[in-house]
Structure 1
Amino acid sequence: MINYEISEHLKKQLDNSKHDKYREIQDFLYELLNPQKKIPYHLELQNFLGWIDSPEFMLRQIKGINDFVNKSKSYDQFIFIGMGASAILPELLLKEQWINNEKIIEGFRDNKQSFKPKFYFIDGTQDRDLNDVINNYKKTLIFFVSKSGKSIETKTIMQNLMNIPDISNNFIAITDYGSDLYNFAKSNNFQEIFCNPPYIPGRFSAFTYTGLISAAVSGVNIEKMLKSVIKFKNSIIKTNNHSLINLINYLSKMLDCKIDIVNLLSSNEKDPKLLWVQQMISESLAKNNRYLIPLNSDLKKLKNRHDIVNIFFKNNKYSLAEINNEKLTQSIILNNIENENLGVFIYAIQLIITSLSFIESQKGLEFNPFTQPNVELAKNEYGKHNKLLPSLNEFQLPVSSNINIKNLKYISFLIFTENDNKKNEFDKFQEKISIEKEIIKNIMHKQQIPYFIDFAPAYLHTTGELHKKKIQNVYHILIYTTSEDSEWKVHSDSNGLRNIIDVQLRSEIEIFKKHELNFDIIHIAKLNEYLQNLF
């Protein structure tokens, strides 16, 4: 069951709205979950709806998963490599005891007291070399997770690791049958190949091997989880006044009230639920005429912004009463979504996204919520553009900008680099993150402007679909450095992705031009000066 609370002001506003899609949502969900699957939606999108019954399918795979878990007990570390949902979902379903306030609390410390986590997830944004992360090559399992096996970042890291004899015998593939990764794993004698059930989009694959292997290895009772999801699924059909349908109806009313930005918040800033829900909204709903913009920032209160609602995930700092007292008047709290209820939360989000995509589309099946054409466009444009960007010595700040500060919907900072001079540690995995993030946060909080901070290459597989949508009063800032900037040492090459990121940036610039988006390209060394001039 989904438990939620709505702040008094927001609830009154939504209850007063004449926009009511409850019956339409109820009918859609009833038909969507109906085992007969004969409605036009099923027929039109049949190659994308395997996720509906994946809990039942995976329940029949429990014995095989448990056998693998027993074999894995002889290993000390588990590293998952993938892009987008392929990296997010294995962490999302990890047993909560392993993650506490951004710290992976289980792991090792070597002779230099360097922390080596038991579970580690790679999406191309990490600045720790795998050689520094791995405690013992022979006691480490490496999972390559990719639906198609075509992600160039995953393939690059995999090729680099193939040359390390002590670890190449410990590779596991999680993919679709017959994919590039499946064929590569088979020809290179991977220790194990897990083939997901067919017709499941990547970001909807939580209840496949993609999410359940890490969950089981970390100690989650996945059989209990799957049974609770199936029970929840059946309750939607049998219950007349279901809380999930009410919540979807409220979200639809929000859009009707011109509240189209959801600010996702958690007491844990690195909560994987934030990243996954942000991806689900960005990739599935951005194509609709009525869409949601999912921020992942800690700006809880913005002056004179009536288009934003805060959505709190298990927030230990705020009760509904405290939210009302602090005048966070447009807020929703999602309760009881951890531990054994996590599976229900995940399945509910999948149903919410699918329902909103259908209900808010003017023609029902006008947009497919399970594809991401702009993400695929970025892949197709890869390597087609060779224009070099100026080094720091050659870079000149834009003379003027097209940004209308007063009417900005949001700004996105799309970061294609990190620098080694100015870094600030954060707890998770004892990695470091560019201090430019702190510069951005400080300025944007002062300006009271909603913002994204997205790092390449990961964002190309998560929020990339949204950022390539032409939205009025939105501005993008693409941030980079070059290998020629000696005082700004490129640090992102630890896993062999530096050249790939450079090529992706050039492709992204051309796509932004084609889509006629508003954007600037700024050298990271000049970002602070650029923002000071801008505001």
Structure 2
Amino acid sequence: MTALGFAAYGAAASAIDQHLPTMITQQLASRMMRDQDPTLWGPDAVDEASKRLGWTQPFEDAYKALDEAEAYAAQLREAGIEHIILAGMGGSSLAPELIAADAGAQTLTVLDSTDPAHISRVLDRDLSRTVMVVASKSGSTTETDSQRRAFLGACEEAGLHGPDHVVVVTDPGSPLAQTATEDGYRKIFYGDPDIGGRFSALSAFGIVPTVLAGIDTRAVVEDAAAIAELISEDDTDNMALQLAAALGGTQPLRDKLIIINHGTDVQPVLPGFGAWAEQLIAESTGKNGYGLLPVPVSPEAYEATHGLDDAIRIHLLGEDDDYSLAEGQDAIALHGPLGAQFFLWEAATSLACTFAPVNPFDQPDVESAKVAARKQLAEEPVPPAPNFAEDTIAMLPSGPFDSASSLQEALKQLTAAVKSTGYLSIQAYLDREADTELEQIRDTLAANIGRPVTFGWGPRFLHSTGQYHKGGPANGVFLQITTTDQPEHDIPGRPFGFGQLIQAQADGDASVLAGHRLPVLRLSLTDRAAGIRQLADLVASLNTV
């Protein structure tokens, strides 16, 4: 095992110097990790926290899950199963995706999209050699239920008995567990209900899908277990305490966390770590007008190469990388194996929430977007008529930007609305595997406006940074991108298809953001590929800095 390494500079180091002695005196580490003390985050969080601290002592259950999953993986291989599709959202998919990416595995496909083209492509394979792992703590997640139905329908079309190709990971007593039992699904693995979704990396939700895909997940758990004692100590060497102080204790608060993966383009350090950290940090901290916003970027991005008064740069390093690249910055430098990073960041994020304090274990504004989407589907709405269209992009009604008479003018108004302490969020309700060219506009916009820019694929970001956008400091502006260029993919047993579902999710979230008086520019592509190229050209022409 490679040991964890940690260094802090500038404002991050000053925050550690200021707060670490008090955190040790208050015994924050041992109270959280050993005593599972639910009072650390104030009286309003006690009820929720008392039911959500199982992640602090996960290893007995984790090793049981490993044993059970490894034995079952051998049975799958004997049965000729070669590939795992994971249907899950948020914490049920992000950690397994990161574990697979870090291992360089190609045997796990994460399905956390409702884009019809994405769904159709993922299901276009030899399903006789495929098992879908349906992972949902609540057992009632709309996206996951829809993906499960589509998979079963595809199995039926292929002449297969669908239940033989479905494995479930859920909490005991959930609706999904009941369905799996009644319909005779292949296998049910149970999670710990005392572990919330975004803290579930070292539980059955992180372990089962990756083990079934043939990935050495035992090493991930062992690397986490190796630091358990260290991050439970009320001691100056406790890196969880240090990291928590650097995250939550800067004054004034540097609430943008610029996460920079080093390494090479071929082999970046912890590929996909930013997506996992986005949910853990943004959803845990982003409420009551407070929050820390992760901004995953490449080492060449504007945010990585320019100091921002409200940002801390977090450098994820390989074992041989030089820490000196962070010197002279307000920065944190880290290296270490994935399992240890999981446990370190779960502990540090929870401890950082004691500074506000906010409850790290709830997500009140995530539910608001779900309710709005369900309302849209129930009302069977007619798509909004565009204000106008230019070539392959239509501008939908967008509140404060409705006065714009051209796309360029609308984009200029959008970027001008970004505050000096704010950020811009791109929210793309498209195919996150096929439409990746769209991600390039993130770097262009950040360089043009000189402010942090986040990029989220819908609907997965709704289970992640969506909480921060609505419950955080209310200084974001939003660019929502949808498309009408898509064939419908039906959802068996539902009166709507995936195209209607993803549009309802976009419409619902836009209405919630608008209800919070947050500015949203809504663009719809009438031709995916051409629209992405047109938008990239428009963004490149802004030159607002």
TM-score bin, normalised by smaller chain: 0.7 to 0.9
The alignment's C-alpha RMSD in Å is 3.3
Q: Which amino acid aligns with 1:157?
A: Q
- Counterparts of 1:183-262 in structure 2, within 5 Å, are 183-219=178-214, 222-223=217-218, 225-238=220-233, 240-244=235-239, 245-254=241-250, 256-262=251-257
Moved more, 141-150 or 25-34: 25-34
Q: Which amino acid aligns with 1:52?
A: T
CA distance in 2, matches of 1:515, 1:359: 25
Q: Which amino acid aligns with 1:30?
A: S
Which residue is 2:51 aligned to?
Answer: 47
Matched, 1:413 2:426: yes
Identity %: 19
Matched, 1:370 2:361: yes
Cα deviation for residue 193 of structure 1 reads 0.6
Check 1:148–1:266 CA distance in 2 against 1; reply closer, same or farther (3 A cut).
Answer: same
Which residue is 2:135 aligned to?
Answer: 145
Check 1:50–1:13 CA distance in 2 against 1; reply closer, same or farther (3 A cut).
Answer: closer
Gaps of 5+ in 1: 105-116, 362-366, 419-425, 483-488
TM-score by length of 2: 0.79
CA distance in 1, matches of 2:137, 2:150: 20
Cα deviation for residue 446 of structure 1 reads 3.4
Cα deviation for residue 335 of structure 1 reads 0.8
- Whether contact under 8 Å (2:287, 2:472) holds in the other structure is no
Matched, 1:63 2:67: yes
- Whether contact under 8 Å (1:416, 1:501) holds in the other structure is yes
Q: Give the match's secondary structure for 2:138.
A: coil
Cα deviation for residue 464 of structure 1 reads 0.5
Gaps of 5+ in 2: 263-267, 396-401, 405-409, 492-496, 526-530
- Whether contact under 8 Å (2:107, 2:213) holds in the other structure is no
Which residue is 1:83 aligned to?
Answer: 89
CA distance in 1, matches of 2:346, 2:448: 35
Which residue is 1:112 aligned to?
Answer: none
Which residue is 1:511 aligned to?
Answer: 512
Matched, 1:160 2:156: no
Q: Give the match's secondary structure for 1:271.
A: coil
CA distance in 1, matches of 2:420, 2:233: 46
Q: Which amino acid aligns with 2:85?
A: I
Cα deviation for residue 269 of structure 1 reads 8.7
Q: Give the match's secondary structure for 2:85.
A: strand
- Whether contact under 8 Å (1:312, 1:334) holds in the other structure is yes
Q: Give the match's secondary structure for 1:435.
A: helix
Check 1:25–1:78 CA distance in 2 against 1; reply closer, same or farther (3 A cut).
Answer: farther
Moved more, 276-285 or 70-79: 70-79
Q: Which amino acid aligns with 2:354?
A: F
- Whether contact under 8 Å (1:153, 1:497) holds in the other structure is no
CA distance in 1, matches of 2:285, 2:349: 7
CA distance in 2, matches of 1:334, 1:494: 45
Matched, 1:448 2:450: yes
Q: Give the match's secondary structure for 1:384.
A: helix
Q: Give the match's secondary structure for 2:227.
A: helix
Q: Which amino acid aligns with 1:208?
A: S
- Counterparts of 1:69-468 in structure 2, within 5 Å, are 69-74=73-78, 75-94=81-100, 96-97=102-103, 99=104, 104=105, 117-124=106-113, 127-129=117-119, 135-163=125-153, 164-165=155-156, 166=160, 168=162, 169-219=164-214, 222-223=217-218, 225-238=220-233, 240-244=235-239, 245-254=241-250, 256-267=251-262, 268=268, 271-287=271-287, 289-298=289-298, 299=301, 300-301=303-304, 303=306, 305-315=308-318, 319-324=322-327, 329-337=329-337, 342-361=338-357, 367-385=358-376, 386=381, 388-391=383-386, 393=389, 395=394, 398-399=403-404, 401=413, 403-404=416-417, 407=420, 409-417=422-430, 431-468=433-470
Cα deviation for residue 46 of structure 1 reads 1.7
- Whether contact under 8 Å (2:34, 2:56) holds in the other structure is no
Cα deviation for residue 171 of structure 1 reads 0.6
Which residue is 1:114 aligned to?
Answer: none
CA distance in 1, matches of 2:518, 2:510: 10
Cα deviation for residue 172 of structure 1 reads 0.3
Cα deviation for residue 351 of structure 1 reads 0.8
Q: Which amino acid aligns with 1:249?
A: A
Question: Between Structure 1 and Structure 2, how many residues are aligned?
Answer: 486
CA distance in 2, matches of 1:523, 1:135: 30
CA distance in 1, matches of 2:295, 2:490: 29
Q: Give the match's secondary structure for 2:506.
A: helix
TM-score by length of 1: 0.81
Which residue is 2:499 aligned to?
Answer: 498
Deviations 1:261-314 (CA, angstroms, capped at 9, x unpaired): 101121439823211111111100011554211112232445462211221223
Deviations 1:324-351 (CA, angstroms, capped at 9, x unpaired): 4xx6x233221122xxxx2222111111
Q: Which amino acid aligns with 2:360?
A: P
Q: Give the match's secondary structure for 1:345.
A: helix
